[in-house]
């Protein structure tokens, strides 16, 4: 049963991405491109379904807000049929900053004093218990008023990830010194020696603290959302998005806000963002036969493990 002490907690799940880097793997025989978050890794629940289950450990189901793309309606309508999670439809892609702000404004319209946890919908986690413990701790720690990023312990100097460089590390808590996006391998190795972690795009924060970051970093975008009130309907949201410049949340909001952010480091939990075909192959190879996919009411539309096995260049 839901704990009333968490009634002000919301989870914002980002599910509007196109998964462009996986197109070579996620295109069906008929030529249909399936966005990564609607795929399953081993034939069970979709990655988005995994993210929603993760969210339901942190907030009441009706306080889970999922930002989706209008052009993906064939998949999300199927995924959320009969569900009570709140679905917020993004009319077009204007980058992660706009997608997050759309979700934050929808939450603000329900509870301006809300506490928000941000989760992506396109990653795999082998040890959900380890991640859940860190997310719950991040929720508690961030009630002090500062956004708290959730960074993943890196197991290799992968040049395809974004990195967070900590400062003042005490146990699993630290401040944020810098962000480094997709460094070359040599620099990534240097970052790991400095204690850097992978940027998971997960965080916990009071809603108003996140809006203050937008106020400082992207004031014009925030003003446009406050004026247009996209939650009032699809036509209003479409008109708003037609005027927006694209913005990236990590680059345009978090970077430059380091002094206002805290960091919690998650112990190794088998996290990967499945961002490239090679990374999907590595994940499938590591966990095939050892990972039991969660049952689902909604059979997956695309199985990544099967696609890896069928792809000659990856097999």
Q: Is residue 188 part of a domain?
A: no
Which tokens is 93 given? 């892609």
Residue 253 lies in a domain: yes
Residue 213: what are its φ and ψ, rounded to 5°?
Answer: -60, -45
Q: Determine the pLDDT at residue 232.
A: 74
For residue 219, being part of any structural domain is answered with yes
Q: Specify whether the CB–CB gap between 261 and 144 falls below 8 A.
A: no
- CA–CA gap between residue 258 and residue 164 (Å, rounded): 10
Q: Give the number of other Cβ atoms within 10 Å of residue 228's Cβ.
A: 17
Give 10-residue mean pLDDT values along the chain (315 residues). Answer: 59 93 86 91 90 96 96 94 93 95 95 97 94 96 92 94 95 95 95 96 97 98 86 83 94 97 96 92 86 71 86 59
What confidence score (pLDDT) does residue 32 get? 86
Are the beta carbons of 213 and 304 closer than 8 angstroms? no
| Look-up of token digits 């989760």 | 119
Asked, for residue 133, whether it belongs to a domain, the answer is yes
Any domain includes 177: no
Kindly state whether residue 204 falls inside one of the protein's structural domains: yes
Query: What is the phi/psi pair of residue 60, to 5°?
Result: -60, 150
Whole-number pLDDT of residue 3: 43
Identify which of 104, 121, 143 has the alpha carbon closest to the alpha carbon of residue 52.
121
CA distances from 47 to 104, 290, 293, 295, 300 (A): 22, 17, 10, 12, 9
- Orientation angle between helical segments 95-110 and 219-228, nearest 10 degrees: 50
Contacts of 71 (CB under 8 A, 6+ apart): none
Length of the chain: 315
Cβ–Cβ under 8 Å, residues 40 and 32: no
pLDDT at 28: 82
Is residue 174 situated within a structural domain?
A: no
Domain count, the chain: 1
Domain extent for 64 = 7-152+199-310
What is the pTM (predicted TM-score) of this model?
0.94
Separation of alpha carbons 219 and 256, rounded Å: 14
Query: Could you tell me the two tokens for 149?
Result: 């990023």
Burial class (CB in 10 A: 0-12, 13-18, 19+), 290: exposed
Spatial neighbors of 312 by CB under 8 A, at least 6 apart, are: none
Tell me, what CATH number does 91's domain have? 3.90.550.10
Beta bridge partners of 10: 116
Residues with Cβ within 8 Å of 40's Cβ and at least 6 positions away in sequence, in order, are 46, 47, 293, 300, 302, 303, 304
Q: How far apart are CA 117 and CA 150, in angstroms?
A: 10
Residue with tokens 């064939």: 74
**pLDDT for res 6:** 54
- Asked, for residue 191, whether it belongs to a domain, the answer is no
> 105 with 236: CB under 8 angstroms?
no
Note the pLDDT of residue 199. Answer: 97
Structure tokens at 128: 């959900």
CB 250 within 8 A of CB 162: yes
Residue 4: predicted pLDDT: 40
């Amino acid at each position: 049963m839901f704990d009333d002490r968490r009634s002000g907690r919301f989870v914002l799940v980002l599910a509007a991405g196109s998964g462009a880097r996986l197109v070579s793997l996620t295109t069906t025989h008929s030529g249909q491109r399936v966005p990564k978050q609607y795929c399953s890794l081993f034939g069970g629940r979709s990655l988005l379904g995994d993210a929603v289950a993760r969210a339901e450990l942190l907030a009441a189901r009706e306080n889970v807000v999922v930002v989706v793309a209008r052009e993906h309606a064939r998949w999300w309508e199927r995924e959320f049929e009969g569900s009570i999670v709140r679905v917020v439809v993004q009319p077009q892609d204007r980058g992660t900053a706009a997608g997050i702000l759309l979700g934050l404004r929808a939450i603000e319209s329900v509870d301006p004093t809300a506490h928000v946890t941000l989760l992506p919908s396109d990653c795999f986690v082998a040890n959900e218990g380890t991640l859940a413990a860190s997310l719950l701790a991040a929720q508690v720690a961030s009630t002090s008023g500062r956004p708290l990023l959730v960074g993943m312990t890196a197991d290799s100097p992968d040049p395809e990830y974004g990195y967070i460089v900590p400062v003042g590390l005490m146990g699993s808590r630290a401040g944020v010194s810098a962000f480094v996006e997709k460094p070359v391998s040599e620099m990534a190795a240097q970052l790991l020696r400095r204690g850097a972690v992978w940027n998971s795009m997960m965080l916990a924060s009071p809603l108003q603290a996140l809006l203050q970051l937008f106020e400082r970093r992207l004031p014009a975008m925030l003003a446009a959302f406050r004026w247009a009130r996209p939650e009032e309907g699809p036509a209003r949201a479409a008109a708003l998005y037609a005027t927006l410049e694209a913005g990236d949340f990590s680059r345009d909001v978090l970077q430059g806000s380091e002094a206002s952010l805290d960091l919690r480091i998650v112990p190794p939990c088998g996290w990967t963002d499945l961002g490239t075909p090679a990374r999907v192959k590595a994940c499938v190879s590591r966990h095939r036969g050892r990972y039991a996919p969660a049952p689902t009411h909604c059979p997956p539309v695309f199985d990544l493990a099967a696609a890896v096995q069928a792809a000659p260049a990856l097999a």
